[in-house]
Amino acid sequence: MRLSKRVETITPSSTLAITAKAAELKAQGYDVIGLGAGQPDFNTPDFIIEAAYAAAKAGHTKYTATGGLSELKAAIVGKLKRDQNFDYDPTQILVGNGAKHVLYLLFQALLNSGDEVIIPAPYWVSYPEQVKLAGGVPVFIATAEQNHFKMTVADLEKTATHKTRALIISSPSNPTGMIYSKEELEPIASFCLKHNILIISDEIYEKLIYNGNTFFSIAQLSERVKKNTVVINGVSKSHSMTGWRIGYAAADAGLIKAMTAVASHSTSNPVSISQYAAIAAYNGPQESIETMRQAFEKRLNTIYPRLSALPGVTCIKPQGAFYLFPNVRKLSDACGFSSVTEWSAALLDEEKVAIVPGAGFGMPDYVRLSYATSLENLEHALDRIEHFIKKHR
Ligand code: PLP
């Protein structure tokens, strides 16, 4: 079958691929420990599920406004006010089928052919592919572990061109868990304002912050910066609602209108009953977020020392999200593998531990392990990794 050139340039999501492979092995009866998935392992809080059920029973099972119910937009405006003291108008909010879809709509609405989007590496796997699907060109800034995987203005100066349309910031980052401070964001925001570069601030891990670290949104710097920023967020990670597919953008009303037009000819509205669930999530009690956060923090603090002590491994301690991103290149070399991707594939084959090779995140010497699974699973996974290393070294 002859396919479009557009689709031939993209690679399928490596995180979803590893999750699918792990599920396939599980279905064959293998005892697989999956550390590939990017989703909390907790169930959605009951009161949210009940709100969805009540909405379905009340007949809210029809199309809604494309960009989301006005009650949900109001709940999101309320959330943004509560958490960051932001003042947004409902016309500046679009609700889509998860933050991933909202980002897709954004690039479709924003980019002309050849427009460049700066993406610091390591990056979330979907950013470059979505930019390419919109006809844009992803331009990468390589960051280093010793600089906590953070870009600086000097990097931006070297990378930006007259074609640069936007910069993506993922903080807390998937895959590194690093968080940009207010002081680090200030010069980045000034540079973007000066050069008319739109800031895309992916804040999906905002609520998952550990060990006394704090979150700061770049849009909090000033009204001017806020106007030049698209804030992306959603309920997937904060409320353990990945399957419900609700995410949002908060941005300039003209951009939101254009994104809504794209949605109106592709997906229409996000699932009606999920929208009612999200209203409950944002307007209801927020305690479950803290319960989940504490569980992640405990896992991180338990598992991190053991992982970083493995021979030939370096790993920076994450400040947020729920991933560890160690460099395993030396270890993989010592085990006789020609690449870290091969090393991870062998780990899955021989020990049935699924982790994601770093190549998909733009860092082929690294791997990503998700600790969104029980402590028991994490301990077992490390036992198996240690066994694997002993066998091959
Ligand atoms: N942004 C980042 C950095 C992510 O890691 C993810 C999910 O893994 C998303 C956005 C998309 O989340 P969702 O589409 O479930 O809202």
Give the total number of structural domains in the chain.
2
Residues 184 and 256 in one domain: yes
Verify whether ligand 1 is closer than 6 Å to residue 66 (CB atom).
no
Percent of the chain with pLDDT over 90: 93
The rounded distance, in Å, linking the Cα atoms of 32 and 203 is 31
Distance 245 CA to ligand 1 centre (A): 10
For residue 144, the model assigns a pLDDT of: 96
For residue 325, the enclosing domain spans 5-43+288-388
Q: Tens of pLDDT along 291-335?
A: 999 999 999 999 999 999 999 999 999 999 999 999 999 999 999
Region of poorest pLDDT, from 26-40, 163-177, 223-237: 26-40
Distance 239 CA to ligand 1 centre (A): 13
Verify whether ligand 1 is closer than 6 Å to residue 318 (CB atom).
no
Indicate the pLDDT class of residue 216, thresholds 50, 70 and 90. Answer: very high
Q: Tens of pLDDT along 170-195?
A: 999 999 999 999 999 999 999 999 99
Residues 25 and 124 in one domain: no
Residue 53 lies in a domain: no
Distance 223 CA to ligand 1 centre (A): 26
Exposure on the CB side of residue 364, measured as CA atoms within 13 A? 5
Residues 301 and 273 in one domain: no
Distance 39 CA to ligand 1 centre (A): 9
Residues 228 and 325 in one domain: no
DSSP state of 329: H
Q: Tens of pLDDT along 124-168?
A: 999 999 999 999 999 999 999 999 999 999 999 999 999 999 999
The rounded distance, in Å, linking the Cα atoms of 378 and 360 is 23
Please identify, by atom number, the ligand 1 atom nearest to the C-alpha of residue 103.
Answer: 10
Q: Is the peptide bond before 175 cis (omega within 30 degrees of 0)?
A: yes
CATH code: domain of residue 233: 3.40.640.10
Which of 100, 127, 206, 242 gets mutated to test ligand 1 (max ligand atoms within 8 A of its CB)?
Answer: 100
Residues 235 and 246 sit within 8 Å (Cβ to Cβ): yes
Instruction: Pick the last residue of a domain from 249, 283, 317.
Output: 283
Residue 50 lies in a domain: no
For residue 252, the model assigns a pLDDT of: 97
**Positive or negative, the Cα torsion across 326, 187, 204, 133?**
negative
Instruction: Pick the last residue of a domain from 263, 283, 303.
Output: 283
Residues 36 and 88 in one domain: no
Closest protein CA for atom 3 of ligand 1? 174
Residues 275 and 342 in one domain: no
Residues 84 and 19 in one domain: no
Distance 386 CA to ligand 1 centre (A): 31
Residues 52 and 274 sit within 8 Å (Cβ to Cβ): yes
Structure tokens at 291: 């319960």
The rounded distance, in Å, linking the Cα atoms of 380 and 323 is 17
ipTM: 0.99
CATH code: domain of residue 366: 3.90.1150.10
> What is the pTM (predicted TM-score) of this model?
0.96
Residues 212 and 351 in one domain: no
Residues 84 and 104 in one domain: yes
Exposure on the CB side of residue 183, measured as CA atoms within 13 A? 0
Residue 9 lies in a domain: yes
Residue 318 lies in a domain: yes
Vertex 37: Cα angle to 343 and 248 (nearest 5): 135
Residues 301 and 343 in one domain: yes
Phi, psi of 26 (to 5 degrees): -60, -45
Instruction: Pick the last residue of a domain from 283, 299, 315.
Output: 283
Structure tokens at 134: 């919109």
Residues 27 and 132 in one domain: no
| Element holding 303 (H helix, E strand) | helix 287-308
The rounded distance, in Å, linking the Cα atoms of 140 and 134 is 17
Question: Which of 11, 41, 12, 36 lies closest to 22, judged by CA?
Answer: 36
Q: Tens of pLDDT along 39-57?
A: 999 999 999 999 999 999 9
Residues 344 and 276 in one domain: no
Which of 39, 203, 236 gets mutated to test ligand 1 (max ligand atoms within 8 A of its CB)?
Answer: 236
Please identify, by atom number, the ligand 1 atom nearest to the C-alpha of residue 15.
Answer: 8
Percent of the chain with pLDDT over 70: 100
